Amino acid sequence: MIQITLETQVSDIATALPKSTDLFRNLRIDFCCGGKVSLQKAAEARNLDPAEVLDLIKEVEEKSERRESMAPASFGEKTLIAYIQEKYHEELERELPALTPYITKVARVHGDGHPHLLRVQEIFKTLRAELLDHTADEDKNVFPLILEFLNNPSAELKEQVRPHIFELEEEHENAGRLLNELRDITNNFTPPDDACGTYRTVYARLEQLEKDTFEHVHLENNVLFDRVRAKM
């Protein structure tokens, strides 16, 4: 991570801290075509206080760092589930809708010259629908059932939990296949040399989505679900 100051170019901030693009978008600071200017100048051009904008960026940066600093595998079941929901489920609910217009724009503007972007758009659309349905089912139905089973591992509850675990792991595998295809068709999320800022942002955020999803799946399959299987 670069050291972000008022002299850092907006485009460099967007590259190093992809989530900052949502802030730039809300503040109407151009991080794409007009991003090769310092944060100071970009803020002043929008009649914003540069120091206040920098503070907002630092908040985004600190939130990202806090999420990386925890050791969730050591948490109790209730805390682990709450962690998964806060870090991954709530983040997906924010990130997937927020990323959609960027992907739509890149596919529309650059799809003719880079036709794989149309497949990127298709994969993302499928991932968005499946991941949001998946996490909603976990939050509403599966996680409460898991907690009930772990607190009272009866034969009846075991038979209720077992098919859910099997189904969720299948859904995890499908998400992994889609993410692997995304990595393949984007050349490991490497944008072309002439890619604009939005194009680069899409690749950076898709790579972050891949990272977060694999961590998310690991915690469920190899930590939470293993605890369930240990009591079956």
- Sequence letter at residue 17: L
Predicted confidence (pLDDT) per residue in 9-65, tens digit: 998 898 788 788 889 988 989 886 678 899 999 999 999 999 999 999 999 988 877
Predicted confidence (pLDDT) per residue in 83-103, tens digit: 999 999 999 999 999 999 999
Q: What is the mean pLDDT of the chain?
A: 92
Distances (CA, A) of 225 to 18, 19, 56, 57, 90: 31, 30, 37, 36, 20
Gap between the Cα atoms of 67 and 102, Å rounded = 24
Rounded to two decimals, what is the model's pTM?
Answer: 0.74
9: helix, coil or strand?
Answer: strand
Gap between the Cα atoms of 142 and 140, Å rounded = 7
